[in-house]
Structures are given as C-alpha cells and as structure tokens.
C-alpha cells in the first residue's frame, strides 16, 4: 500500500484524536500525536452517562433514523443533516467495536450490552460502563493506540502544545509548530495533513465543567490562520453543576427526577444555614413559576431561571448558587437511587447532601460550535481537518446527552480516511520546503520572546478571571444585545491590557505562565467570535436565547454562522443549512426536554415530585 512516508499529525488525544490515530495507524500510515497532557488524562475521561447508538435490543422499535431525528430535532434544526444521519447509522457499530476492545459495558442478564434512557429520546439507546463511560472509552482507545506506539506507527508527543499551523504560500497546511512544555523548545513538525481534535473551549468562561486543558487555544490558532469557525455562539449550559472554587462539577439531572427541590432564601443574603431557614422563608422559584412542571422543567428553562435569580442577587448568600435540596427524602432511599452522584458532591464540597441542601448553579458545559468542516471533516484550509467537540458539525443549536461520545469517535473515524486520501494526492514539499517551517518557527519564537520580556503591570490570571466573569454573566443563558456589545468592548479592553502582562515567573523551566499567556491570547480571540456571533443572531434557538427575540426565526436565521479572522476582528457570513432529509418543525415542548418559555398544559415527562 501507498504508505510511502505519509505522515498525519493529530493534535489532541481525547476520543476523537485517538480514534483517528488508531484508524490511520491501522491503515499503515505514520501518526505524530500531540497532547498537552498524557493522552490518557484527556477531558474525555469526564464523560459519565454513556454513548448513544440505536440497537433496538429492548424491542422498542428504535432505529438509526429515530436517533437521527431526535438529534436533529434536539438541535433545533441547525445541523446539516447528512453527517448526522451517517453518524447515527454508524453508532451501533462504534459501540460494538468498543465492546470488542474490552470496555466493561454494563450487561443484561443474558450477557448482552445493556442500554439506558437519556434525554431527548423515548428509547433505551445509551450504552454505559458504570457511571464513567467516557473514561472507559478513552482508555480503550488509549490502549489500542499504545499498541501502535509499540509497533512504531504512532509517535506520541505528550506535554507538547501546538502553537500554530505551518501554511505554505498557497495557504495549504504543511504541518505545525509545537512547544515542549518543559523546555519551552519550539519545533516544526512537517505533516501531510493535520487533524485538530482538541475539544471544547470551556475555559473561556473561567470556570466550567470542562477540564483545565479545554482552552480552545489550538482551535483559535487555526482560526487566526484562516480556518472558518462556525456557530460559535451555541454554548450549552447545564442547569445543575456544583460550584467550586476551581471549577464547576456536574450534578446529574436525576437528582431532580428523584424529587430534589430547588430554592433560595426569600430574604436576600440570608446567611443562616439552610436547615435553619423555615419553609415559609424559602422561595421554591421553579415550583412557583412553573406549577405544572415544578423542578422538572426542561433543561433550558431551569438553567435560565436559576441563572436569572442569581444575576438579580437572590442566590444563596448573594452568590451564584441556589439550593438543590434532597434532605426531605429518606437517606436510605437517596443512597439506593442516587448514591454515586451524592458521593461526588460529598467528596468535593465536604457536605453530606442527605442532610444539607446541595448548592448548585448552571455551568458552561459544551460548545456546539467549532471549526467549520465539510462532510469529510475537512476545514476550509487544505490539509487541515477537525474532529470532536472542536468541530461544529453534529449538534446544531443544542446537543443531546450521550451524543458527544459518539460524535467524537465518528468524527475521528471520518477524518482519518479523509486525511489519508488527501495525503496520498498532494505534492510533497519541494527542496525549498524548509523555508516555510523556519519562518513560522521564527514567528512563534518571537511571540514567546516578547511575552517573556514584557514587564507590564497586568496580571494574566486576573485578566482570565475578568474574561470568564464577563462571558459567564453575558454570553451564556440569557443574552441581551446591549450586554453582548458591552462584553465585546470589554474583550477589546482585555486584549489591550493583555499587551501589558508580565508572566511573573523568572524560572522558565516547566513554567505554567508562558503557556497560559498563549492560551489567554487565543481565548480572547475566540471569546469575540462567540460574543459577536450571539450579538448578530437576533432569534432564540436551542441554547441561544434572547428575550428581545424570543422565537426561532427560520426565515432569517436557519443558517450556519461563519466567522473568519481579520485584523479588525471576526468577519461574519452565513451559510445555508442542509435540511433535505427532515423538514424543520417547531419543537413540541410537551414531550421534549427542551421547552419554550410557555407554561401551558402538558406533562413534564411523567415524573412526579410528590
């Protein structure tokens, strides 16, 4: 086979990157795999619930078409439909492949894979390995890629960070520049194609449910070098996460399913312990505002209401937190039904949720938007592909639970053959090829040198905090155009102040300061894409909600937002969405989890809080 020196570089070692690496190595081609952490420690480990695939082993009449319809419908029709359909068709075989790799999926009595229910569907479609499915899937791919590492097909560059692409005079991607995170050495890595698989940009919001590596930095670098970024404004915020001093940890929706009640003290800044606040001084605001649904209002409503209460200063202690109270339910019942998630809360907060109400707050969770790709995961830059959360292709305006893992693997599996096909057909670099690498190496070295030399008075961690606060306050759940504009102004101010940071670390060996400074710069650029994309989209769709424009507006906005970098900021254009397979329809909120602000009659989903 034609493996004559074909080399694909993959940036990111989560599910998408490892899936692509495995496929390419299996095809006999060489892979250079870059990751800022050992790949086994990638953010995919945090996924818990499971992975979707319509296998219909429960006799429910499920089908891949039903999965496809649920996904498109849940995404409020913003996704191009053909790749979603292909993913749903491939999903069962992806699950079976992981089964063969030895993932300890939970089993039925007959020894078959078990499947459970998840949001946005009426079928048992989610395979799961305990409550750590992401960890188990990641490990399975890590093991297979290690096998190819031993056979010499895969070279891992862990603790190396991609700083930029190397583009030739025709804007064709010829490799990348990466930095060794211990020595700060920069090196050019020629490649026939580059696959970006670096996950989401949650750190732009300061604290999120994302891991600390989820800065979106590499994606932003690609964007700044000419890659299109699509639907950036679509950011999923989960209603219930555990506010921490360092991050937001997810608290499963099942707590409310089992009768959990959300409340805040009626008196603002009531500092009494929650158990000493009598019933009539508690404001069960979801139950009061949505008597039909109570605490089980669909996810976007719950998120919006909790967020609003806190923005108005009515959160517990005046902070961004409300109570999620399970203390009225007998402890033994809680242990039986919710044991695992209660243990997480206990471990990180130190309180026992059986006796003390949990403090929760919506948390930035996932980016539906990302690098623009075609149906073969190719970006607009020849030789550059993208897969996983960092691409925009599958989830439209809102992602369904347990679809992220399948979309990551699917993206990697599509990107791999597309990269090989591309690599086979390109002209290799000529003799003067080293010029473009030397030039880009020099560019990146100059940026590092400049940051290291700077001795300004601004503190990069303070700037990051400010960005996170502004983005969280203004570009998450409820969006107003004046505030979006003000946020963009703030981002411009932060970009200006960024020029005056000092990295404050005289020891450059294994420093965290320089990489963070590089991330911050890139995060600011991407923050503008998210913010201005939201400003421009005058409608409400999926996770993007504007009170000034509360309805979905298909006539004007059934379009993909495309942002392209320019020296003056992002330039926006819009692309038609391929809706050829399923005609867009209004989401029927009475049966779906995503409901409009309407509180008219309906069933919250058959669960009772009694």
Partner 1 sequence: MSKSMSTTAPQKSVEIHIRRRANPDSPAYWEQFEIPYRPNLNVISCLMEIQKNPVTKSGERTTPPVWQMNCLEQVCGICTMVINGRVRQSCSALIDNLEQPIKLEPMSKFPNVRDLVVDRSQMFDHLRRVHAWVELDGTYDLGAGPRMDQDQVAERYAYSRCMTCGCCLEACPQYEGDQYIGPQAIAQVRLFNMHPSGKATRDERLEAIMGDDGITNCGNAQNCVKACPMSIPLTKAIYEENRETVLYGLLGWLRK
Contacts of 379 (CB under 8 A, 6+ apart): 196, 222, 227, 228, 371, 372, 373, 385, 386
| CA-based nearest residue to 58, from 125, 4, 11 | 125
| Interface with partner 1 (CB under 8 A), residue from 64, 126, 511, 560 | 511
Tell which positions 333-352 bind partner 1, by CB under 8 A: 344, 347-350
Choose, from 174, 249, 261, 299, the residue flagged as catalytic. Answer: 299
The CB-of-179 to partner 1 minimum distance in angstroms stands at 16
Tell me if 146 contacts partner 1 by CB under 8 A.
yes
Please answer whether residues 280 and 263 qualify as being in contact, where contact means their C-beta atoms are separated by less than 8 angstroms. Answer: no
Tell me if 102 contacts partner 1 by CB under 8 A.
yes
Tell me if 149 contacts partner 1 by CB under 8 A.
yes
Nearer to partner 1, 370 or 515 (CB): 515
Strands in 51-52's sheet, in edge-to-edge order, are: 51-52, 126-127, 115-116
Nearer to partner 1, 38 or 547 (CB): 38
- Phi-psi category of 602—alpha, beta or left, where left has phi over 0 and alpha has psi -120 to 50? left
Tell me if 453 contacts partner 1 by CB under 8 A.
no
- Give the DSSP letter of residue 504: -
| CA angle (98 as vertex; 96, 102 as ends), nearest 5 | 110
- Give the DSSP letter of residue 399: P
| Antiparallel, parallel or unpaired: β 173-180 and 160-167 | antiparallel
Q: Which stretch binds partner 1 (CB under 8 A): 9-17, 81-89, 90-98, 301-309?
A: 90-98
| CA-based nearest residue to 364, from 261, 474, 460, 285 | 474
Angle between helices 403-425 and 15-26 (to 10 degrees): 40
Tell me if 56 contacts partner 1 by CB under 8 A.
no
Tell me if 23 contacts partner 1 by CB under 8 A.
yes
In the residue annotation, 116 being an active-site residue is answered as no
Task: Report d(CA 408, CA 528) in Å as an integer.
Answer: 25
Task: Report d(CA 175, CA 193) in Å as an integer.
Answer: 7
The CB-of-602 to partner 1 minimum distance in angstroms stands at 35
Contacts of 165 (CB under 8 A, 6+ apart): 173, 175, 176, 177, 194, 221, 222, 225, 381, 384, 440
The CB-of-355 to partner 1 minimum distance in angstroms stands at 16
Q: Which stretch binds partner 1 (CB under 8 A): 37-45, 192-200, 376-384, 572-580?
A: 37-45
The CB-of-591 to partner 1 minimum distance in angstroms stands at 31
| Size of the residue set binding partner 1 (CB under 8 A) | 68
Contacts of 102 (CB under 8 A, 6+ apart): 140, 143
Give strand pairing partners of 188.
177
Nearer to partner 1, 106 or 224 (CB): 106
| Interface with partner 1 (CB under 8 A), residue from 2, 5, 28, 38 | 38
| Interface with partner 1 (CB under 8 A), residue from 52, 136, 295, 531 | 136
The CB-of-133 to partner 1 minimum distance in angstroms stands at 11
Q: Helix, strand, or coil here: 322?
A: strand
Tell me if 505 contacts partner 1 by CB under 8 A.
yes
Q: Which stretch binds partner 1 (CB under 8 A): 384-392, 426-434, 503-511, 584-592?
A: 503-511
Tell which positions 158-187 bind partner 1, by CB under 8 A: 182
Please answer whether residues 436 and 167 qualify as being in contact, where contact means their C-beta atoms are separated by less than 8 angstroms. Answer: yes
Give strand pairing partners of 560.
575
x/- binding map, residues 110-129, to partner 1, per CB under 8 A?
A: xxxx---------------x
The CB-of-359 to partner 1 minimum distance in angstroms stands at 9
Tell me if 107 contacts partner 1 by CB under 8 A.
yes
Residues that bind partner 1 (CB under 8 A): 22-23, 26, 37-38, 40-43, 45-46, 93, 96-97, 99-113, 129-130, 132, 135-136, 139, 143-144, 146-147, 149-150, 182, 211-213, 244-247, 249, 344, 347-350, 413, 459, 461-462, 504-507, 509-513
**Catalytically active residues, by annotation:** 299
């Amino acid at each position: 086979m034609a493996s004559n020196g074909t080399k694909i570089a993959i940036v990111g070692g989560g599910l998408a990157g490892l899936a692509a690496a495995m496929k390419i190595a299996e095809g006999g081609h060489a892979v250079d795999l870059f990751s800022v952490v050992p790949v086994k420690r990638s953010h995919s480990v945090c996924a818990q619930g499971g992975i979707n695939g319509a296998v219909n082993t429960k006799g429910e009449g499920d089908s891949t078409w039903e999965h496809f319809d649920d996904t498109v419908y849940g995404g409020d029709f913003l996704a191009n439909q053909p790749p979603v359909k292909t993913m749903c068709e491939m999903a069962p075989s992806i699950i079976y492949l992981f089964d063969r790799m030895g993932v300890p999926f939970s089993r039925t009595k007959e020894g078959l894979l078990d499947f459970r229910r998840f949001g946005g569907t009426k079928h048992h479609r989610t395979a799961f390995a305990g409550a750590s499915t992401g960890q188990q899937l990641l490990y399975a791919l890590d093991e297979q890629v290690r096998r190819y590492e031993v056979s010499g097909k895969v070279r891992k560059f862990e603790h190396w960070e991609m700083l930029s692409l190397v583009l030739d005079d025709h804007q064709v991607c010829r490799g990348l520049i990466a930095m060794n995170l211990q020595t700060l050495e920069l090196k050019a890595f020629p490649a026939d194609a580059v696959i970006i698989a670096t996950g989401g940009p949650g750190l732009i919001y300061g604290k999120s449910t994302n891991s600390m590596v989820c800065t979106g930095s590499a994606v932003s670098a690609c964007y700044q070098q000419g890659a299109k970024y699509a639907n950036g404004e679509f950011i999923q915020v989960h209603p219930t996460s555990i506010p921490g001093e360092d991050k937001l940890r997810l608290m499963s929706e099942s707590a409310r399913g089992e009768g959990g009640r959300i409340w805040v003290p009626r008196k603002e800044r009531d500092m009494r312990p929650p158990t000493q606040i009598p019933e009539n001084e508690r404001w069960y605001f979801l139950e009061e505002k949505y008597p039909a649904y109570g605490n089980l209002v669909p996810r976007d409503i719950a998120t919006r209401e909790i967020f609003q209460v806190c923005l108005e200063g009515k959160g517990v202690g005046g902070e961004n937190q409300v109570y999620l109270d399970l203390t009225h339910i007998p402890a033994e019942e809680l242990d039986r039904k919710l044991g695992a998630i209660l243990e997480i809360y206990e471990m990180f907060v130190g309180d026992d949720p059986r006796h003390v109400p949990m403090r929760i707050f919506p948390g930035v969770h996932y980016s539906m938007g990302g690098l623009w790709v075609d149906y073969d995961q190719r970006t607009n830059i020849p030789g550059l592909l993208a897969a996983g959360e960092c691409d925009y292709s599958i989830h439209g305006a809102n992602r369904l639970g347990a679809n992220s893992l399948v979309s990551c693997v699917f993206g990697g599996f599509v990107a791999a053959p597309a990269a090989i096909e591309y690599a086979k057909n390109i002209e290799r670099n000529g003799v003067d090829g080293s010029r473009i690498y030397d030039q880009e190496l020099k560019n990146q070295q100059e940026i590092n040198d400049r940051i290291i030399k700077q001795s300004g008075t601004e503190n990069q961690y303070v700037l990051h905090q400010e960005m996170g606060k502004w983005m969280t306050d203004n570009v998450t759940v409820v969006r107003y155009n004046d505030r979006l504009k003000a946020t963009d102004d703030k981002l411009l101010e932060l970009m200006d102040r960024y020029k005056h940071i000092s990295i404050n670390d005289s020891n450059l060996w294994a420093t965290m300061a320089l990489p963070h400074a590089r991330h911050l710069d890139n995060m600011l650029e991407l923050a503008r894409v998210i913010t201005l994309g939201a400003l421009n989209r005058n409608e409400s769709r999926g996770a993007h909600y504007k009170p000034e424009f509360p309805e979905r507006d298909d006539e004007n906005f059934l379009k993909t937002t495309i942002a392209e970098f320019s020296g003056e900021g992002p330039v926006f254009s819009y692309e038609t969405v391929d809706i050829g397979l399923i005609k867009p329809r209004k989401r029927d909120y009475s049966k779906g989890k995503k409901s409009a602000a309407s509180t008219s009659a309906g069933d919250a989903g058959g669960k009772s809080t009694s």
